[in-house]
Amino acid sequence: MMERRLWREGSFDLTGKILQVNWLYVLLLCGLAGVGYTALYSAGGGPEPYATRHVLRFGFGLVMMLGIAMVDIRFIARLAWPLYGVGIALLVLVARMGHVGKGAQRWIELGGLQLQPSEFMKVALVLALASWFHRASWERIGNPLFLIPPIIAILVPVGLILKEPNLGTAAITGIVGAAVFFAAGVRWWKFLLVALPVPFAARLAYGHLHDYQRARIDTFLHPESDPLGAGYNIIQSKIALGSGGMWGKGFLQGTQGHLDFLPEKQTDFIFTIIGEEFGLVGSLAVLGLLSLIVVGGMAIALRCRHQFGRLVALGLTCNFFMYVFVNLAMVMGAIPVGGVPLPLISHGGSAMIMVMMGFGVLMSVHVHRDVEFAGAGDT
């Protein structure tokens, strides 16, 4: 009865929901997509072949985001575990009949659209974990047996993503899951117990990596050892970033990008275009915009009155942050190259749509931040 009354008292008040949307946050996302359009325009030497598609995809994603924002967060909570099941099924489908590209099997074809299920899985995992933890007491969270199902829920998709193989996305998926655990109140010493064997496991896993994955790690440690081969990407990336200086060479004036020294300049290394053409000042401005989006996501989490929304907002914000951190650290040579795009800036349809879907759920948390949870997502 309580749940039906809550639905009658405003769940379908569309006008009120539209007014509740955080339009400043939407404006920040549009600004970041505008940065992406500018960088991709330069990478392609004009609106084609990247920039126009970027705008169209963002426009579709924006409509989808606002549509999801109108959906009651309690209804999304009910879909958490079914969506998780869909994500697992898609990952299994990738392993059986996925599209192979650049040595990995990560995509499936759906109606002419290439979908990367690992991107969808991260959003579904956050929803599933939030559904598991949101009504749990402090004592229940402290029970190790209560943590076994959500740990398995993380390990299954991480294992399937590693099998593609996609080491970078698998690591991000695990970290995002761990962030939800931490936000739910899992004690820090339990994370320490899990982290202690990681160096030994990493050493053991190194021998089982694919040749290109080992080459990425070796190149990270000694990029100059093969400057025309495995080390070429990161060396050219550093040259482009450094050559921009304080103010940059100017829009469309970058030499590393326009003379095709930069590989994957429209995807993994798009930030080098920004650094070369707009310099340190332009790069810091983009970093500031990215930081505002992360801080805005954290603010949405803190303002939410129900635990499910807080955990979802924190998990999805962590996912966005990890995208940004891994990509920027990669192009600066701080970590091995991992093939992770810069969200809303890099060229790519699957990542764009999944990121916007995540922002749609985040905006639903904001719009429905004061609703009373009456049974949705019980564990």
Domain segments of the chain as ranges: 19-367
pLDDT at 3: 45
376 Rama sector, left if φ>0, alpha if ψ -120 to 50, beta otherwise: beta
% of the chain beyond a pLDDT of 70: 79
Distance, CA of 174 to CA of 299 (rounded, Å): 23
CB atoms under 10 Å from CB of 15, counted, come to 7
Per-residue pLDDT of 206-253, as tens digits, reads 655 666 566 666 666 666 555 555 567 777 788 888 888 899 898 888
CA–CA dist 184, 301 (Å, integer): 12
Q: What is the mean pLDDT of residues 88-117?
A: 71
CA 303 to chain CA centroid, nearest Å: 22
Mean pLDDT over 290-314 rounds to 96
CB-based contacts of 335, cutoff 8 Å, min separation 6: 220, 326, 329
Quick check: 324 and 249 in contact, CB under 8 A?
A: no
118 CB contacts (<8 Å, ≥6 apart)? 91, 94, 106, 157, 161, 164, 166, 169, 170, 173
Whole-angstrom Cα distance, residue 161 to residue 168? 9
> What integer pLDDT is reported at residue 139 of this predicted model?
83
Q: What average pLDDT does this structure show over 156-167?
A: 85
Tokens, residue 23: 């339009």
- Does the pTM exceed 0.75? yes
- Are 149 and 132 within 8 A, CB to CB? yes
